[in-house]
Structure 1
Amino acid sequence: MSRGRLAAPAWRPGLLMLAAGALQVASFAPLGWWWLQPLCLALLAGTVQRATPRRAAWAGWCYGLGWLVAGLWWLYISMHDFGGMPMPLAALAVLLLAGLLSLYLALAMAAAAWLGRGHSPLLRGLVFAACWLMAELARAQLLTGFPWIASGYAHSEGLLAPLAPWVGVYGMGAVAALLAAALAGLVMAPRRAPALLVAALLLPVFGWLAPKDFTQPAGELTVSLLQPNVPQDIKFDPERFGENMASLQAQLLSATGQLVVTPESVLPVPRADLDPAYWASLVQPFSQGERAALIGTFLGDAQQGYVNSMAGVSARQLASGSFYGYGKRHLLPFGEFIPPGFGWFVELMQIPLGDQAHGTNEAVFEVGGQRVRPLICYEDLFGEDFAGSAVGPQSATMFVNASNLAWFGKHMMQEQHLQFSQLRAMEFQRPLVRATNTGMTAAIDHHGVVTQALPGWTTGVLDVTVQGRQGDTPYARWLSRCGLWPLWALVALVLLAARVMPRREGTSPTRASAADT
């Protein structure tokens, strides 16, 4: 009886946090209710600031679980519908992934409760935001990183959007957490919260008042973006290979842009295994003049490993018997490389070419006076990996993303990835165009605005005129030089300040930990 009475209060906030985390997903695309995120986070902030470290960890884990299950449920489709994994195992895999990733938030919220106890609302709010940032950075970088649906993406429009070229996606997420802590403070201690509210509003006000344009026009390029709309269940079917390749050939012949871009792996077999006559027919439209193409294929061989790549062809390269090759550098765990000890899991999913090699080339592809930086699917979540391509006089003037999202069904995932691309364009103030197999094929300007797009799950070619940009945003400069370390340093500074600053008597971390046992 006594144990039940003690356990019940912990379960009730856990269920509330589970619901709040799931509701937060509505702040991302496709709904895009960005204002909802600080409200959901305020529930977590208020719970953590009143909780012991152990219960704060439970609240953080439940919040993360609701958030990530609601935001990543479409992984079930890739594992069950296309990977052939039994339904219970596929559902369990999504749940386990979300649960494991939520451990970062659990540990961070425990630290927030431990270090924030006994301090002023202002310092407690800063500690909550720093711990939130710490959890997001850890999820983005540890064990190769999986930063999908990081909180800052919800703010590709709205109050915090002007901060993108200054602090990037993780900085925006930290500011959102600080706003949430301020909202919680207004409810919990309204007389002591104004200082925290002022601090939370300083950065958004700065974003709206500070300079917003850091890049300049660098000419225009016409681009044709191909959307073949090949269903995933027949993409690697050898009996449908000829039909699919004939359709691709027709699309390449009909495209008129100076640059033609296909989705990733539009050629679902290694380039070396293609019939030379067929490859010659694909690149023939680009053998004369100034036009070029980026074609999704696999480069490499069985000995060195196959690399998910974009092969760039132009008249100059074809005349010399060569082509540009960009290989995917940041691979997707389980889908493109096998983590140690998980070979059995990947075999269950039956993914073709499921263990790939990393690409190494970072050079831009030059066409029509523009310097194009390719990105393949999941890579554009890791701005720190290619920030160096967006600074300096010879930096890329535009980004191109090639994706195949047919693995994940028709709902939510495509819109999420488009939103992530929008924020990359905003951070570096570079246009970004996307060629996808089934959607969302689109053109995004340097302010993150989708200017043109094809409807999803249709076959078509999107012809766009893209204005290249040159110049460096503040975010691109510090990210290219230091990576994400300045944000880690900010976390350390806030947490150290909380550790050493005096507290109200009787509320030290040591005593709080003892009370929690």
Structure 2
Amino acid sequence: MEVSTPIEQFESFAVKKRAIPVFLRFFFFGLMLPLSFAPFHLPALAILSLALFYHQLNGTPKSAFLHGLFYGFGFFGLGVSWIFVSIHEYGHLNELLSAFITFLFIIYLSLFPALTAFLFSRLRIQPFTLLSALAFSALWILGEYLRATFLTGFPWLLLGFGQFDAPIKFLLPVIGVYGIGFLTCFAATLLSLGFKAQSVARLRHVVLFLLIVLTPFVFKHRQWSESHAAPVSVGVIQANLSMRDKWDEALFWQLLQGYQEETEKLLGTELILMPESAIPLPPSYVSDFLYQMQQRAKRAGSAILLGIPQPVSPGDERYFNSLMTLGKAKGSYQKQHLVPFGEYMPRFFIALSDWLGIPDANLQAGKSDQTLIRVQKHAIASLICYELAYGDLLRRQLPAAEWIVSISDDGWFGHSLAMYQQQQMAQVRSLQVARYQVVANNDGLSSVINHQGDIVASLPAFTSGLLRASLYPMTGSTPWTYWGDTPVLLFCALIYLFCLVQKQLKNKDSAEAIAGEVKRRYPYQPV
């Protein structure tokens, strides 16, 4: 008597018994995927989720599209649920309208796994083969890349980010987030193939699966960068100010006094860092305060970096979201990748935003060729909030930058998953480029992360406090720093192209076979 596999048993329960409607099954599969990311840290669930998704993509292209859509509903419905908090609490829209906008955004994001499933189904590859597994994995990554770049892009919750707690993370400096995502997806499909295949093929799939899981350990102790400089002392101010208090005119001078008092405690530290928009008004409104801070920092030998809006030009009402320097630091950084709707309004939504009464956003994007900030004569890479998700923004500042400074204000997201997801992305980026990183976040998880992605010091979420630690300036480059994501994306594109060519050849062979059969049955007889 043949023993059924666990996945086959699930199919029997869900399909034959009709216990779970098809769309709910795929929604449930998608719901598992965000659990691989912070704060849940269950990377194995990504493999299980994708294995179940791939295992049951065996219908028509139309049904595959719908299955992918509901998979996306589960994935993004939980994974980016914090969007509702941002719109409702701080966009000042009512609950119904906030829920509606969030739902539209989730539908949009769900189109990408739906498109992946649709294109995979259209290839008509023999199911449960290695080529099928490679094709699905390649299409998943190409779908992620499209999601990360189309229109303004949304590279949040890329599959590779969620594998930071798995051994496969040691390959991040080599193949980057997309490469890790491809191997994770391929491992998931191999797991599915292992349940379906016969004994010999099953052994092959198991061996490949183990290679993906175990090979990264070879790179565990590989050092991609080194330090020839003395450690730099760091102090981070985490104010934990609510968004309402931060923009309350009556409390503004208390805010400045608070930052001044906390800075006094850290003077003498080589780098003092404040979060994004620590001072919410332009420099012209607080010129005396900034002058005093500049003089004190110079006397103490400290460099101060703080978030502040800076006008595009004198008298201009448009502003940059900036990182400003005082004391023993030179330069400034203007945020390049702005958050749509929060920091600027896309042109095609301006009329709708006016009708809905959404507050106007007038921030401008900084240039892509900015000079690196120098702190105590060290060049640094700068990132502001959302930019952590965009690897190329960081890569453009390397290998010249000796460490990373990342500032944020996650108060926009309230008590949600976003802050933890962002900290995980910071860890991924540090490991990916082999650089220390200082993270200053207004409302929690301010931290110092080493060049291997480990958190060496951190403050709890939703508390105020001072973080004191040290970091090491690093030099050198990882393979990913040299070649970026191009090799992985090109590899995925070639797999898809190969499958398309093979499909065309099969169609041609089928057409010729049909034509031959017609000629055989109905031979031409001249009159």
Residues 371-423 of structure 1 deviation map (CA, whole Å, 9 limit, x = unaligned)? 221110111111112213222xxx11110100000011123211111001000
| Cα distance change of structure 1 residues 389 and 504 upon mapping to structure 2, 3 Å threshold | closer
Q: Does 1:71 align with 2:83?
A: no
Aligned to 2:6: none
Aligned to 2:523: none
Residues 282-302 of structure 1 deviation map (CA, whole Å, 9 limit, x = unaligned)? 323213353211111011246
Q: Does 1:33 align with 2:42?
A: yes
Aligned to 1:497: 498
Q: CA offset at residue 438 of structure 1? A: 0.4
Residues 152-197 of structure 1 deviation map (CA, whole Å, 9 limit, x = unaligned)? 1111121311111111111111111101111111223344444444
Equivalent in 264, 270, 288 of residue 258 of structure 1: 270
Q: CA offset at residue 505 of structure 1? A: 7.6
Aligned to 2:519: none
| Cα distance change of structure 1 residues 499 and 270 upon mapping to structure 2, 3 Å threshold | same
| Residue-pair matches, total | 488
Task: Compare CA radii of gyration and give the structure with the larger one.
Answer: 2
Aligned to 2:442: 437
One-letter amino acid of the structure 2 residue matched with residue 354 of structure 1 = A
| Cα distance change of structure 1 residues 23 and 285 upon mapping to structure 2, 3 Å threshold | same
CA distance in 2, matches of 1:502, 1:83: 49
Residues 248-303 of structure 1 deviation map (CA, whole Å, 9 limit, x = unaligned)? 1111222142011100101111223x132222223232133532111110112463
SS of the equivalent of 1:342 reads helix
Q: CA offset at residue 456 of structure 1? A: 1.4
Residues 313-352 of structure 1 deviation map (CA, whole Å, 9 limit, x = unaligned)? 225x7xxxxx52100011111111111121255555755x
Using the aligned pairs only, state the percent identity. Answer: 27
SS of the equivalent of 1:469 reads coil
Aligned to 2:309: 298
Equivalent in 230, 233, 236 of residue 225 of structure 1: 236
One-letter amino acid of the structure 2 residue matched with residue 356 of structure 1 = L
Whether contact under 8 Å (1:117, 1:508) holds in the other structure is: no
SS of the equivalent of 1:63 reads helix
Q: Does 1:467 align with 2:472?
A: yes
Aligned to 1:267: 279
Superposition pairs for residues 357-372 of structure 1, below 5 Å?
Answer: 357-360=364-367, 362-372=370-380
Aligned to 1:356: 363
Aligned to 1:451: 456
Aligned to 2:53: 44
Once the two structures are overlaid, the 10-residue window that deviates more, 131-140 or 184-193, is 184-193
| Cα distance change of structure 1 residues 346 and 229 upon mapping to structure 2, 3 Å threshold | farther
One-letter amino acid of the structure 2 residue matched with residue 228 of structure 1 = A
Q: CA offset at residue 38 of structure 1? A: 0.2
CA distance in 2, matches of 1:504, 1:279: 69
One-letter amino acid of the structure 2 residue matched with residue 275 of structure 1 = V
CA distance in 1, matches of 2:256, 2:307: 12
Superposition pairs for residues 480-491 of structure 1, below 5 Å?
Answer: 484-491=485-492
CA distance in 1, matches of 2:441, 2:508: 55
Aligned to 1:308: 321
CA distance in 2, matches of 1:217, 1:369: 15
Whether contact under 8 Å (1:163, 1:204) holds in the other structure is: no
SS of the equivalent of 2:325 reads strand
One-letter amino acid of the structure 2 residue matched with residue 334 of structure 1 = F
SS of the equivalent of 1:389 reads coil
What 5-or-longer segments of structure 1 have no aligned partner? Answer: 1-7, 318-322, 511-517
One-letter amino acid of the structure 2 residue matched with residue 465 of structure 1 = S
Whether contact under 8 Å (1:121, 1:193) holds in the other structure is: no
Q: Does 1:278 align with 2:278?
A: no
Q: Does 1:343 align with 2:344?
A: no
One-letter amino acid of the structure 1 residue matched with residue 349 of structure 2 = F
Write out the 4+ residue segments of structure 1 that deviate beyond 6 Å after TM superposition.
Answer: 502-510
Whether contact under 8 Å (2:277, 2:409) holds in the other structure is: yes
One-letter amino acid of the structure 2 residue matched with residue 415 of structure 1 = Y
Equivalent in 160, 172, 175 of residue 168 of structure 2: 160
Whether contact under 8 Å (2:191, 2:209) holds in the other structure is: no
Aligned to 2:89: 81
Equivalent in 194, 211, 214 of residue 224 of structure 2: 214
CA distance in 2, matches of 1:254, 1:507: 76
One-letter amino acid of the structure 1 residue matched with residue 266 of structure 2 = A
Whether contact under 8 Å (2:331, 2:372) holds in the other structure is: no
SS of the equivalent of 1:341 reads helix
Equivalent in 311, 317, 328 of residue 335 of structure 2: 328
| Cα distance change of structure 1 residues 344 and 502 upon mapping to structure 2, 3 Å threshold | closer
| Cα distance change of structure 1 residues 349 and 161 upon mapping to structure 2, 3 Å threshold | farther
Q: CA offset at residue 54 of structure 1? A: 1.4
Residues 68-119 of structure 1 deviation map (CA, whole Å, 9 limit, x = unaligned)? 1101111111111121111011111111111111112211111112225226
Q: CA offset at residue 425 of structure 1? A: 0.5
CA distance in 2, matches of 1:456, 1:367: 27
Aligned to 2:517: none
SS of the equivalent of 2:183 reads helix
CA distance in 1, matches of 2:124, 2:188: 15
Aligned to 2:148: 140
Q: Does 1:170 align with 2:163?
A: no
SS of the equivalent of 1:296 reads strand
| Cα distance change of structure 1 residues 298 and 181 upon mapping to structure 2, 3 Å threshold | same
Once the two structures are overlaid, the 10-residue window that deviates more, 361-370 or 52-61, is 361-370
Q: CA offset at residue 61 of structure 1? A: 1.3
Whether contact under 8 Å (1:47, 1:59) holds in the other structure is: no
What 5-or-longer segments of structure 2 have no aligned partner? Answer: 1-16, 512-527
Once the two structures are overlaid, the 10-residue window that deviates more, 228-237 or 335-344, is 335-344
TM-score of the pair, normalised by structure 1: 0.88
TM-score of the pair, normalised by structure 2: 0.87
Whether contact under 8 Å (2:135, 2:496) holds in the other structure is: yes
